[in-house]
Structure formats: structure tokens, C-alpha cells
């Protein structure tokens, strides 16, 4: 993450007039938005004070805005076409006034499932091992080019939904679930894999902040199978939450999300381009 010389406490905020960060959302608000705003208020109060939340369906006032981030609910185009159209108008208005846009609407209208299920992830692993017995994918979070490991997706059937997960209820034997939790924790604690490939995949779908599910090919390359904006903090991530330490994972995600967002905003303040705000 880029380092900046600006102080980060609320008493000595960066001086850049009334420069603001605009977060555009719509109802129902994605589950990540409220905790992200709370994290900004707690850890980066100077940025929280400069943040304004805009309704995608309303006329947007972009006066003094230096950066726009879209945090939209899934399938908004189908669920609320008016809000979707409004989000697109806000993005175009930002473009007109040279305001950078993150997670541009149109690049990620819905969850992207890519190229089928990919290769059988069990192949090539030692017989009897966890990864030879269970289908598996990896989930990582892309945060403006940085990558953070999220969780292992493990399934006996090859279907990667919460109900089919090895962590759901009593699916699988106790020993297998214990082994699966250990592998899941090891992945979360490990260094991120294939950072350039995952960041490029997210960027190719118009996303700066994204959740990417992927498998590794026998050649050691990351193959994304699902790309979507970071939205709900539930699904498979919420399964066996206490034993998997999910609360700590979400805390880390929110910290990294806030840090990455702050870095982009600070870079815009450093750029100091005049006349970039819009009424």
C-alpha cells in the first residue's frame, strides 16, 4: 500500500479545502457499507468527516467531491432500473468533471460466473488428502490492486453454495470438518497468491474492490470462477463463524478496505488538480 505524508488523526487532517469522498449506494444497502462507515469513523475520523453517502436514485451534488465510490446491492439493474440508471448518471457526471470513479456501475452489473466450473480441483493431490477428497476454490478480496486472502470454499459435491459447504451443519465427518477448518485457516494466514492476475481480473470487470473466487490450474495459474463487488459479509464466510475466527477476518477486511480507500483519496488530495469539483 502506498505511503503518504499526511497525518491521519482527526486533530490534524490533510488540508485540501472541503474535498469530499462520495459513496453512492441504493436500497437495500449492501452489508459491507455500514461496518465500513463505522470503521472509518473509528480509525480514520478525518476521512469519515469528509465522506458523504449519496442515493443512486436521487440527484447527486458532487460539489467539492474528489473521489466517487459505488457500493451497490447485487442485481440492482434488474431489481431497481431507476436506481441503476441514476448510478450510471452519477458516474457520467463524475467523468464530466474529471472525478475518479471506483467500482463503476456497468462494469459489474451482476455477479460474474466465468467459464464454467474450471478443472477438477481434486486432481493432482495425494490420494486420501483433504484436497483429493473435496472440491475446493479459494476466495480472495481485491482492494484497489492489493489482495487479501478470504476463505477456502470446500465441497463434497462441487457446488460452492453455503448449503453445500463442508462447514454447513453436519455435512461430513467431524474429523474431516476439523481438517477442513485447519486448511481454511492456513489459507487465510498465508501470503496472497497470484495478486497481479486477481487484480487484473477484477479490473477487467470494472471493479476496484471485489470478491474473487478462483481455482489454481495444474500449471499453477489462478483461474477466476466468480467475480463480484464486495457486498454482503455472510454466505459461506459466515459458516462455523466462531470456530473459523470469522469475526477477526471481517475486522481485517474492513481495516484493509478503509486503508485502501484512504490511500486513493489521499493520492487525489496530493494531485491537487484544480476545478475538479462539480455542482
* Domain 20-109+257-271 bears CATH identifier 3.30.70: no
Say what the pTM is. 0.87
Facing residues of 65 across strands? Answer: 20
pLDDT, position 7: 39
Average pLDDT taken over every residue of the chain: 86
pLDDT, position 170: 66
pLDDT digits (tens, 9 = 90+) for 195-248: 999 999 999 999 999 999 999 877 788 999 999 999 888 788 888 888 899 999
CA gap 93, 100 in Å, rounded? 11
pLDDT, position 240: 85
Q: What ranges do the domains of the chain cover?
A: 20-109+257-271, 112-256
pLDDT digits (tens, 9 = 90+) for 23-37: 999 999 999 999 999
**Average pLDDT of the segment spanning 181-206:** 95
Amino acid at each position: 500500500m502506498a505511503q503518504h505524508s499526511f497525518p491521519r488523526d482527526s486533530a490534524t487532517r490533510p488540508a485540501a479545502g472541503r474535498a469530499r469522498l462520495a459513496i453512492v449506494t441504493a436500497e437495500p444497502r449492501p452489508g459491507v457499507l455500514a461496518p465500513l462507515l463505522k470503521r472509518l469513523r473509528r480509525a480514520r475520523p478525518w476521512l469519515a468527516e469528509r465522506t458523504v453517502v449519496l442515493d443512486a436514485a436521487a440527484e447527486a451534488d458532487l460539489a467539492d467531491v474528489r473521489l466517487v465510490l459505488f457500493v451497490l446491492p447485487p442485481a440492482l439493474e434488474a431489481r431497481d432500473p431507476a436506481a441503476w440508471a441514476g448510478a450510471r448518471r452519477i458516474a457520467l457526471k463524475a467523468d464530466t468533471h474529471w472525478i475518479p470513479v471506483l467500482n463503476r456501475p456497468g462494469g459489474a452489473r451482476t455477479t460474474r460466473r466465468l467459464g464454467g466450473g474450471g478443472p477438477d480441483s481434486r486432481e493432482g493431490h495425494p490420494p486420501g488428502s483433504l484436497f483429493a477428497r473435496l472440491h475446493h476454490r479459494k476466495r480472495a478480496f481485491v482492494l484497489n490492486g492489493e489482495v487479501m486472502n478470504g476463505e477456502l470454499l470446500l465441497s463434497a459435491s462441487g457446488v460452492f453454495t453455503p448449503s453445500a459447504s463442508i462447514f454447513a451443519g453436519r455435512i461430513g465427518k467431524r474429523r474431516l470438518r476439523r481438517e477442513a477448518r485447519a486448511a481454511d485457516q492456513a489459507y487465510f494466514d498465508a501470503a496472497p497468491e497470484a495478486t497481479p492476475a486477481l487484480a487484473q481480473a477484477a479490473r477487467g470487470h470494472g471493479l476496484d474492490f471485489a470478491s474473487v473466487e478462483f481455482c489454481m490450474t495444474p500449471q499453477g495459474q489462478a483461474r477466476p470462477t466468480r467475480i463480484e463487488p464486495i457486498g454482503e459479509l455472510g454466505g459461506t464466510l459466515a459458516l462455523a463463524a466462531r470456530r473459523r475466527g470469522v469475526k477477526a477476518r471481517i475486522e481485517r477486511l474492513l481495516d484493509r478496505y478503509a486503508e485502501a480507500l484512504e490511500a486513493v483519496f489521499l493520492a487525489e488530495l496530493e494531485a491537487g488538480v484544480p476545478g475538479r469539483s462539480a455542482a
